[in-house]
Amino acid sequence: MAEILILYYSVGGSVRRMAELVAEGVERVPGAAARLRTVPKVAPVTQSAAPAVPPDGAPYCELRDLESCAALALGSPTRFGNMAAPLKHFLDGTSVQWLSGALAGKPACVFTSTGSMHGGQETTLLSMMLPLLHHGMLIVGLPYTQAELMSTRSGGTPYGPSHFAGAADDQPVADAERLLCIAQGKRLAETALKLAR
């Protein structure tokens, strides 16, 4: 069974919902299984540490989850046009995996959610790819054969799924956005299985 790691950070639930949809796409591929993981908030050292186990949602990611996965889907809210600090903080702790090439040759994809329609979905997705490329990962986007890329009135990009959540972060994932999340998960899992042959 190829384990596809879906590593995300979410405060308001939008990226978490997207992660669940990417997982749905992964699970549609026979021989692939989704592993949902998150990261804790970052805090100044003077503040108390997060509990070892999150109160709800996915467990915290461990470095061995990265080492053992067949593929990685990375999801973050857009924060000033970039990925959120807790996810970047986690990635900044992966020097050992970078040195050993633990992720080299594995496929990866990225997804994000924003509060405004043109608030940096594409910059966030592209910048999320940078550390993955440094790790030698093979970036898997979304092809325009996926009809929703043309018909969407909100999120969805060839760089990866995206969601326009609105200023209050309360808009449900639109149909086109949902289908693109599922398609991305499926495509990532299929690619992982092809590469493993």
Residues that bind ligand FMN (CB under 6 A): 10-16, 77-81, 113-116, 119-120, 165, 169
Identity of the residue, 13 or 141, whose beta carbon is nearer to ligand FMN in the bound complex: 13
Identity of the residue, 16 or 187, whose beta carbon is nearer to ligand FMN in the bound complex: 16
Which residue is it, tokens 């299984």?
Answer: 33
In whole angstroms, how close is the CB of 164 to ligand FMN at the nearest point? Answer: 8
Identity of the residue, 83 or 102, whose beta carbon is nearer to ligand FMN in the bound complex: 83
In whole angstroms, how close is the CB of 11 to ligand FMN at the nearest point? Answer: 4
In whole angstroms, how close is the CB of 165 to ligand FMN at the nearest point? Answer: 3
What's the CA gap between 66 and 71, in Å, rounded? 9
* 112, 154 Cβ separation under 8 angstroms: no
Q: Which of 10, 5, 12, 9 is nearest to 168 (CA)?
A: 12
The vertex-31 CA angle with 26 and 35, nearest 5°, equals 45
Identity of the residue, 63 or 117, whose beta carbon is nearer to ligand FMN in the bound complex: 117
What's the CA gap between 74 and 51, in Å, rounded? 23
